Structure 1
Amino acid sequence: MIMHKEQPSECLCLLAPARLAWLTEELPPLGPQDVLVRTSTTAISIGSELPVYRGDARTSDAFQYPQKMGYESIGAVVACGDAVRSVRPGDRVVSFYGQQTYAVVPQERLIVVPQGISDALAILSILTCDAAKGVRKLTLRPEEAVLITGAGAIGLLTLFILRAYGVSQVDVVEPMTERHPLACLLGARNVWRPQEVPAETSVYPAAFECSSRDQAFALLQQKVQPQGRLCVTADGNIEPLTLIPAFHEKELQIVGSSDGWDYHQHAAWYFHTLQQRPTDLERLFELRITRDELISTFQKLYDGMVHPVKILVSY
């Protein structure tokens, strides 16, 4: 067993609603299959983390404090256990431990980032895999038209995956007009505010609810065809989603989707796709901050002072 002598890790923890602090954590020694990673970049996933910060996220488990924040991380491999073969010191890797300076991670939970891929694009390998799982569940044909509600991170990444998988007719409903240009850049055919959706539009065999809003979910049920398929890819931690009469009258199908289908297989496809053609995905990070700004940024989100799609954090 290899011992490491790095400084203890500092972790951003939620001590109570809207109360964050950096706590020091002693790292365990490296086991044979473990890797020590020094964090370089993380992200704030606003749709899932802000409700946790406020203390009003809808979850099946009660909140436990202190609670570590975040789940998307990029770092450099510092040391490896004796049996580690998939990575080596100096490799840049994606992992799932969140807002902390160092982490000990099993090698199977690391994804090596190819050269030439920015941290901003690399860290999106996690959420694009989550979006891809939902898209794969509906087994769409290229000629099928699709409607998405919500142009936050999950909605825009669902749009990216649909287009990358060959689905060309994708429309998006988003109340914040400042998000419309990015949806267009990522390949949306039409982008509407909810009140602008054409009344005669009801031609969608499939749709994705990516906003966690009941009103948006009702709109999808109205706009899909009979026997249409709905996938709820949003976390669902904001408000309950209800079935309207159209759900039963049209005999609609609904599936939920959460974590990714296979992060390593997806990352191989995703990185290859990025190397083959340019993308505007980095624009999702409408705010870039340093680690020292994390606590104040969460408060700004809480106060409604900033409304970025996603936030990139430099360590």
Structure 2
Amino acid sequence: MSALVLDDVSAEQTDTIRALEAESIQIIREVVAEFDRPALLFSGGKDSAVLLHLALKAMTPAPLPITLLHVDTGHNLPEVIDFRDRIVAEHGLDLVVANVEDWIADGRLQERPDGTRNPLQTVPLLDTVNERRFDALLGGARRDEDRARAKERIFSVRDAFGGWDPRRQRPELWQVYNGRHAPGEHTRVFPISNWTELDVWHYIDIESVELPSIYYAHERPVWLRDGMWMTPGPWGQPAEGDELLVKTVRYRTVGDGSCTGAVESTAATIDEIIAEISVSRLTERGATRADDRLTEAAMEDRKREGYF
């Protein structure tokens, strides 16, 4: 009896994932049909890997008519950058990298006192959008990650300065999306907005989507800061009094190494990860992203300034 129930649940979950996949593919095809110069934000993280997989599937057998864009802080974990470059090479994709270090070198940006570069991504992003004249940016943000992202529509128009005004949100009834924008404006598009972290992992399982190795349990030198296990790198080292330990950890999300922490975990397979996050009460950003803990409205403040 229990085996039968498990099979029924599995079939129901698969139907849910396929419905989400169909919705996302429809959104991606709408973008390709409506916009002239779309780009897809690809950092090498799990959500952007799933989004790229969906985009390739949506366009098959034609080549992907979408440029990939990564705003690279220079503080990313090397496993993620290696994965990013390998996937781009394997599929013969066009990748534009906006290096935050270039903006720092020529004085357009200054390093922050706290050393984190995540908030510094906004200016390189907007400059690259304007320079390349991208009129739509597809991203892997999901509503379950943060309250500010929960407010946002799937098609989200940004003003000439890249800013987001929640009062300008457009209705999206019956999956009808409005991508109209004035000169200078562009549209952010979130094809997996309705997915949850658990949905993403079920899809990775069903579709065998490849990810960077750091999403799975591995040993790494870490120290504890504000309840998160940080790893040393060019972004920083343990402070005096911090104890550097070797722990078995994994990352639930990836980003700037100065503000993205790992979680203690022995989950080395997709099934084990699904079991682990099924009982978690924290989203991946809430658990491992220090930049979202600055204020309760940290994400919304950055989105108003042009952050994704």
Structure in which a larger fraction of residues adopt strand? 1
TM-score by length of 1: 0.38
Look at both structures and tell me which one has the larger radius of gyration over its CA atoms: 1
Q: Which has the higher contact order (CA 8 A, sep 6+)?
A: 2
TM-score by length of 2: 0.39
Structure in which a larger fraction of residues adopt helix? 2
